[in-house]
Amino acid sequence: MAKYEILILNGPNLGHLGQREPEIYGSQGMDDVPRLVDALLADRAGDVALTFFQANGEGELIDRLELAREQGVSGIVFNAGAYTHTSLALADSLAWIGIPCVEVHISNVWARPETIRHQSFMAARVVGVIAGFGIDSYALAVAALMNRLEHS
């Protein structure tokens, strides 16, 4: 049994990674993440079990965060997509569930031309933010989260 249960949660428009705007989001999909995590964590890869969930609706994401709390999930890696920049409801949910969370972005949102992407309602409610490393951002977030969990 894995030492850590990590939920990888994806918001709207992230269900087609690898196909959607590859010039921004790359050509790899979520099915590549476990391999990337295993490669990055090497001898610690067996310590983590990953669960993936993607929803386009804000309510579904909040329901999944609440379920993660009920299930005793160790940590969350969360790419809320555009909801990062607009959803107080997701930020409120992260604030009360008490699960360490790393906010993830595939692109460097601060280099994007739309200034609304430069703000995050979630940032104050997470332990850290990783952005701009493509799909590797997820593996980096899992590794950072595991490190945080092991030293807290």
Out of 16, 85, 105, 118, which one is annotated catalytic? 105
Q: Are 137 and 130 in contact (CB under 8 A)?
A: yes
| Residue 114 three-state SS | coil
Q: Tokens for 129? A: 């933010």
DSSP string for 131-150: ESSTTHHHHHHHHHHHHHHH
Catalytic residue among 25, 85, 118, 151: 25
Cα separation, 6 vs 101, whole angstroms: 9
Active site residue 25: yes
- Decide if 94 contacts 125 (C-beta within 8 A): yes
Q: Which alpha helices (H) appear in the chain, and where do they start and end?
A: 22-25, 33-41, 58-71, 88-97, 136-150
Which residues are within 8 A (CB) of 30 and not within 5 positions of it... i.e. 6 or more apart? 8, 10, 14, 17, 18, 52, 54, 135, 138
Which residues are catalytic, by number? 25, 105
